[in-house]
Amino acid sequence: MLVRVENVSKQYMVGEQPVTALNRINLNIEEGVFMAIAGPSGSGKSTLLNLIGCIDTPSSGKIHIAGRDVSGRTPDDLARLRGRSIGFIFQTFNLLPVLSAEENVEYPLLQFKELSVADRRDRVRHYLKMVGLADFGRHRPNQLSGGQRQRVAIARALAIRPKIILADEPTANLDHRTGARILRLMRRINRKTGATFVFSTHDKRVIDMADRRVDLEDGEIVRLGVRKAKHEWGFALERAEDDYDDDEETVDAADE
């Protein structure tokens, strides 16, 4: 198993108030899957990706990545692990504006001292070509379209040859057609190279491109699905309606 999330909870303190972002999450991610994390705003998608991506640590529970327990590590340890094992793709692309596409892809490789300059350049060319931007290496982000910027970000994530690629709403800042093309590109790369992708979204059309889905609600997994056909999902876990806690719908008259 590539990732094992065991009974993970995450609380944030907002002033004196604890806010539960994730509550007792259990999840296995197999190598090579193309997985969507779905759920409404505030359901915990980004929190879960950040925990798997070692950007943050759980309040309780354990996370194993490729057999290594990453839950109890120091920030330095996590940064090292992240730099070598995890590729990130962000909603806002997060490219460095003063660097060219090539330099953006090359940037995370600079920490790999074992790579020669020539190897590094080869890798940059290889991954820019994979995302269809062989001719755009010299362009800076502001000279590229949104879809092209996201493709640079995908090349940058792949270039470190990570164990897993995490994408937090990668299509949210793209029009639907461009977003669908980006998702298809990610899926093609997944099929061709076996790279594992986990991405969050609340767009149903994007969810239907995944082959695994995890549905979050209020910090809990309410459904786990495996895709059977184009718009058909088989659910391994489906929480019964009765289990939903609708107490929160009650509006206190004093609040109005």
**Residue nearest to Mg ion as judged by C-beta position:** 46
Look at residue 203 and give its three-state secondary structure. Answer: coil
Interacting residues of 203 by C-beta distance below 8 A, sequence separation 6+: 171, 172, 179
Write out the binding residues for ligand ATP, residues 163-222 only, by CB under 6 A: 202
At its nearest, how many Å lie between Mg ion and the CB of residue 8? 17
| Interaction between residue 39 and ligand ATP (CB under 6 A) | yes
The residue assigned the tokens 């190279």 is 193
Mask for 79-118, x = binds Mg ion (CB under 5 A): ----------------------------------------
Binding mask 41-80 for ligand ATP (x = CB under 6 A): xxxxxxx---------------------------------
Residue closer to ligand ATP (CB basis): 63 or 101 = 63
Stretch that binds ligand ATP, among 38-46, 64-72, 176-184, 245-253 (CB under 6 A): 38-46
Least distance in angstroms from the C-beta of 39 to ligand ATP: 6
Closest CA to 172 of 150, 195, 141, 139: 150
Q: Which of 3, 5, 21, 222 binds ligand ATP (CB under 6 A)?
A: 21
Residue 71 as a binder of Mg ion (CB under 5 A): the answer is no
Q: Does 46 sit near Mg ion (CB under 5 A)?
A: yes
Question: How many residues sit in the footprint of ligand ATP (CB under 6 A)?
Answer: 13
Show the tokens assigned to 1. 């198993």
Could you say whether residue 254 binds ligand ATP (CB under 6 A)? Answer: no
The CB-of-137 to ligand ATP minimum distance in angstroms stands at 32
Decide: helix, strand or coil at residue 120: helix
Q: Residue 68: name the closest of 147, 132, 193, 163 by CA.
A: 163
User: Which residue, 43 or 71, has its beta carbon nearer to ligand ATP?
Assistant: 43
Phi/psi for 144 (5° steps) reads: -125, 155
Which are the contacts of 135, defined by CB distance < 8 A and separation ≥ 6?
A: none
Instruction: Enter the DSSP assignment of 15.
Output: T
**7: which residues sit within 8 A by CB, 6+ positions away?**
24, 25, 26, 60, 61, 62
Cβ contacts of 181 within 8 Å, gap of 6 or more = 147
Binding site for ligand ATP (CB under 6 A): 12, 14, 19, 21, 39, 41-47, 202
